[in-house]
Chain A
């Protein structure tokens, strides 16, 4: 059985956790979920399945936005 580490910026409600797990079962089948809270990601979610990390955090998106702005400036 897979173990997924799910990181969010704030504590999720049980309903939300259930909703997330239901959606992820389509991809992973049955799995064990480990929830972590990390305020530094600002918002969004990071899912790590042991091999791949899916990073949907706002922190990463802001960093990408910054890089795009800087590239634009350099042009």
Chain B
């Protein structure tokens, strides 16, 4: 060993220097390991954990988003079905209303016609009655005119006597 360290080797290689370099390297490695490697490793591990957590969080968010998406599509489908059902119901109701309105209108029309017929018959009856009443009035007017013209004093006296006899004999 001493020989290797003290003698000059061919090609100018100095054993001592090599040893020194090796020791330097060793010290360096130890220093780097202690000062750099471990903190860096710790940092990297910490970063890895952070990334892992973030990844998991993203996965969770993605999963929730997918679930929401599914729910949304389900609701959308339900809404479509509900719209369809409501439209059918509305059509059914409109049809029923239309039928009722038609039959109601027909009924009303019939009532109006019946009422008009009754009223026209009433008017006819009243008109005929009115005409007959007018005939009676005319007959009485003629009788009145005849009486005014033709009743004599004697006939009038007879009427007077008849009236007085009736009244005085009433008791």
Contact = CB atoms under 8 A, between A and B. Distances in A.
Q: By DSSP majority rule, is chain B's interface helix, strand, loop, or mixed?
A: helix
Interface string A18-49: 01100110110000000000000011110100
B157 interface: yes
Contact of A65 (B140, B148, B153, B155): B140
A26 to B, nearest CB: 5
Interface stretch (B45-53, B89-97, B101-109, B128-136): B128-136
A74 B130 CA distance: 10
B153 to A, nearest CB: 7
Nearest to B164: A23
Contacts of B168: 23-24, 26-27
Contacts, number: 72
B156 interface: yes
Contacts of A63: 140
Interface range for A = 20 to 34
Interface of B: 129, 132-133, 136-137, 139-140, 143-144, 147-148, 151, 153, 155-157, 159-168, 171
Interface of A: 8-10, 16, 19-20, 23-24, 26-27, 42-45, 47, 54, 56, 58-59, 62-63, 65-66, 69-70, 73-74
